Amino acid sequence: MKEHVTVCEVGPRDGLQMAKSIMPTAVKARWIAAIAAAGVKEIEVGSFVPPKLIPQMADTEEIVRGALAIPGLTVFALVPNLKGAQRAYAAGAHGIEVPVSVSEGHSRANTNKSTEEQVEEVGRIVAWLGAQDRKVRVEAGCATSFGCSIEGDVPVSRVVRVASALADAGADAIVLADTVGYGHPDQVHTLVRAVRGAIGEKLTKLHLHDTMGLGLANALAGLEEGIRSFDSALAGLGGCPFAPGASGNIVTEDLVFMLESMGFDTGIDLDKLIAARLLLHEGVPNEPLHGQVPKAGIPRTYRAAA
Ligand code: ZN
């Protein structure tokens, strides 16, 4: 039995929110279906934020409903607050991702709340969802855990404090997010150990950006620490408004290539995954597509783990 690693595709949310044009809903639905058909089992399909703020996410209700029809797919959506969580529940999402910035400056800029207020919001979301008929998984993402474009250094002790507060607030899982992509492998080792020391296996996943070209190195450091779940975006789509030049999330195609080559089973067919780039290009033709493996082509030495 090969060890399994979960790859959660966040391109339809993290990637598209920075796109200059709006992907037509029908293309987005086909794109998500193509990613799922490649074997991806978790997709963050959009976010429940005010459409005026992020017009690319105005169709998230419809996109969630469509994605629910894909067999075996766990459908996630990002929500910034209780109202978003209620919309996600009504649409039928299996899970939600709630961002909580460890850095106060980024928290204010991102959600107009202090970190403590946003932790309390997670508590309200958990309480409200707990009173509903259907179970919805709540993942809390500690944004700017590895540094902040507004405040600079983010102390490890502060990340540990926020992660612990989120675990206490009842989140099912805690994610460490390198929102602006300033992290390096040593930092991943240190931070994962420190947070795990405080909350144990509730720390499940890393959300990494490739701003400095260290995304996969950071993922490898996470793997070495026992992390078995990663967010990534097809074609490394996106960027960050606070990090000029950022190339977005780590590239799903390159991540899968690394994992499978190392013997970790992702359940993902790399050929089909790369083919899904065509629909992405069709939907947002002006966005640059990143990724080394798609550009070079899958080498003849490649062996999938399974
Ligand atoms: Zn991100």
Per residue in 60-74, pLDDT (tens digit) is: 999 999 999 999 999
240 is a catalytic site residue = yes
User: Interhelix angle for 60-67 vs 82-91, to 10°?
Assistant: 40
Q: How far is the CA of 273 from the centre of ligand 1 (A)?
A: 20
User: What's the pLDDT score for residue 246?
Assistant: 64
Rounded CA gap, 156 and 23, in Å? Answer: 38
User: What's the pLDDT score for residue 30?
Assistant: 98
Write phi, then psi, for 129 (nearest 5 degrees): -65, -35
Where does the pLDDT of residue 198 fall: very low under 50, low under 70, confident under 90, or very high at 90 and above? very high
User: What's the pLDDT score for residue 76?
Assistant: 98
Q: Determine contact, residues 102/160, Cβ cutoff 8 Å.
A: no
Neighbours of ion ligand 1 (CB under 5 A): 14
Q: How far is the CA of 90 from the centre of ligand 1 (A)?
A: 25
Taking all residues of the chain, what is their mean pLDDT, rounded to a whole number? 95
Q: How far is the CA of 208 from the centre of ligand 1 (A)?
A: 7
Residue 244 structure tokens: 């000029």
User: What's the pLDDT score for residue 242?
Assistant: 63
Kindly compute the dihedral angle of the four CA atoms of residues 288, 277, 226, 179, in this order, to the nearest 10 degrees.
30
Where does the pLDDT of residue 243 fall: very low under 50, low under 70, confident under 90, or very high at 90 and above? low
Q: Determine contact, residues 280/233, Cβ cutoff 8 Å.
A: no
User: What's the pLDDT score for residue 18?
Assistant: 85
pTM score of the predicted model: 0.96
Where does the pLDDT of residue 109 fall: very low under 50, low under 70, confident under 90, or very high at 90 and above? confident
Q: How far is the CA of 298 from the centre of ligand 1 (A)?
A: 26
Rounded CA gap, 250 and 234, in Å? Answer: 8
Residue 19 structure tokens: 């796109």
Choosing from 8, 142, 148, 240, the catalytic residue is: 240
Q: What is the per-residue pLDDT across 14-39, written as a single tens digit (0 to 9) for each?
A: 999 888 899 999 999 999 999 999 99
Residue count of the chain: 306
Q: Determine contact, residues 138/96, Cβ cutoff 8 Å.
A: yes
In one-letter notation, the amino acid at residue 6 is: T
Answer yes or no: is pLDDT of 131 > 80.
yes
Spell out the domain ranges in the chain: 7-296
Return the half-sphere exposure (C-beta side, CA atoms, 13 A cut-off) of residue 41: 11
Where does the pLDDT of residue 238 fall: very low under 50, low under 70, confident under 90, or very high at 90 and above? confident
Q: How far is the CA of 99 from the centre of ligand 1 (A)?
A: 10
DSSP bridge partners of 294: none
Q: What is the CATH code of the structural domain delimited by 7-296?
A: 3.20.20.70
Q: How far is the CA of 178 from the centre of ligand 1 (A)?
A: 7
Q: If you average pLDDT over residues 163-173, what whole number do you get?
A: 98
Residue 252 structure tokens: 């799903």
- 25: burial class by Cβ within 10 Å (0-12, 13-18, 19+)? middle
Q: What is the per-residue pLDDT across 252-283, written as a single tens digit (0 to 9) for each?
A: 999 999 999 999 999 999 999 999 999 999 99
